[in-house]
Structure 1
Amino acid sequence: MIISELLLLISLIFIVLLITSSIVYSTVKLGISPMPSSNKAYFSMMQLVDKTGSGTIVDLGSGWGNFVIRIAKRYPQRQVVGYELSFLPWLTSSCIKKILGLKNLTLHRKNFYLADFSKASVLICYLFPEAMEKISHKLQVEKSNVSFLISNNFALPSWQAYRTIRLNDFYKSPVYLYKISKAET
């Protein structure tokens, strides 16, 4: 009895260490941890997505799937794509997708900087300034059908936001909506 309890405890400690080391490794490698948006930000971003038509929605850095799964459930008629490099968050969201049977959701464990946005209509992101700079450059030089970009907290350099929602939180965090057109850059 004592040996089985000890083995169970050792197994749990091993799993926790594996999970922790996976998240730490991904954070160091990518320069940012998988950080979910607040509920206020989710609702504001969903409100903005409501006004973006019927094209494919792409979540850049879909993390644990909090937003990408909600949006796929909300719009079963729209294709939704998520990109996440961190293994554990990607695995978690992939399992939830399967459990919920979300056929309109595709999740990639792939670097979104290398992704083809030619079929994307809306980009969603909660990244960091350097990543936003890279996305801005990608939108300026690549041919795509992206019509909108929605960003939680971080502005898209060299672009003028079409609309900004200030959240009712401690920091008055911004959620930006950009209308993307090549002439605007």
Structure 2
Amino acid sequence: MPSSNKAYIAMMQLTDRTGPGTIVDLGSGWGNFVIRIAKKHPQRQIIGYELSWLPWLISVCFKKLLGLKNLTLHRQNFYQADLSDCSVLICYLFPGAMNKISKKLQLEQTNINFLISNNFSLPGWKPCKAIKIDDFYKSSIYRYNINSNKKPSKQ
């Protein structure tokens, strides 16, 4: 399900001051967020992972139409992707997926500095920032500092 426009804006604001590294959207869907963030940060590499064929194809068409050379879109399961060199993870995933990501972050050596999540918290980690959005869903947007606190806190 796509995020609200207010959630997109909040997530984009939370990518500010996250350095020059690669931003990866785990489950990029129709490309709504990755296209916006690629346009906002043309100097940064943006990567999207999406398994569903039609949303992936639509986002690839928009990428080409807009000439976004800094955007790479993979039709691939992000659990099998090498995320070790990315700097920021973006996600809007269900609680079970967030739990898998939490375990992956605890076990693997990565250069991931931040994780920004729409609606669902990262189990076992304490967000450094949480924004409550005044949208239809009353969304919460969370930002976590990953490498500064590699061992998750008890919640």
* Both structures adopt the same fold (TM-score exceeding 0.5): yes
Query: Within 5 Å, which residues of 2 pair with 1:82-101?
Result: 82-101=48-67
Distance 1:129 1:151 in 2: 11
Q: Return the letter of the residue paired with 2:151.
A: E
Query: Within 5 Å, which residues of 2 pair with 1:100-115?
Result: 100-115=66-81
**The structure with more helix, counted as a fraction of residues:** 1
Deviation at 1:36, TM superposition (A): 0.9
Matched, 1:62 2:7: no
Deviation at 1:162, TM superposition (A): 0.5
Deviation at 1:51, TM superposition (A): 2.1
> Residue in 1 aligned with 2:43?
77
Distance 1:98 1:180 in 2: 33
TM, length-normalised to structure 2 = 0.94
Q: Return the letter of the residue paired with 1:79.
A: Q
Q: Return the letter of the residue paired with 2:150.
A: A
> Where has structure 1 moved over 2 Å in runs of 4 or more?
169-172, 181-184
> Residue in 2 aligned with 1:27?
none
Deviation at 1:168, TM superposition (A): 1.1
Matched position secondary structure for 2:87: strand
Distance 2:119 2:20 in 1: 25
Matched, 1:40 2:6: yes
Residue in structure 1 matching 2:82, options 95, 102, 116:
116
Aligned pair in 2 of structure 1 residues 36, 173: CA closer, same or farther (>3 Å)?
same
Query: Within 5 Å, which residues of 2 pair with 1:1-185?
Result: 35-181=1-147, 183-185=150-152
Q: Is the 8 A contact 2:4 2:135 kept in 1?
A: no
| CA deviation vs aligned residue, 1:104-159 (integer Å, no higher than 9, x gap) | 00000000001111110000000000000010011111111000000000000010
* Count of aligned pairs: 151
Aligned pair in 2 of structure 1 residues 36, 171: CA closer, same or farther (>3 Å)?
closer
Distance 1:160 1:128 in 2: 18
| CA deviation vs aligned residue, 1:83-114 (integer Å, no higher than 9, x gap) | 00000000000000011111100000000001
- Higher-Rg structure is 1
Matched position secondary structure for 1:177: strand
Deviation at 1:171, TM superposition (A): 4.2
RMSD (CA atoms): 1.0
Distance 2:103 2:14 in 1: 23
Unaligned runs of 5+ in 1: 1-34
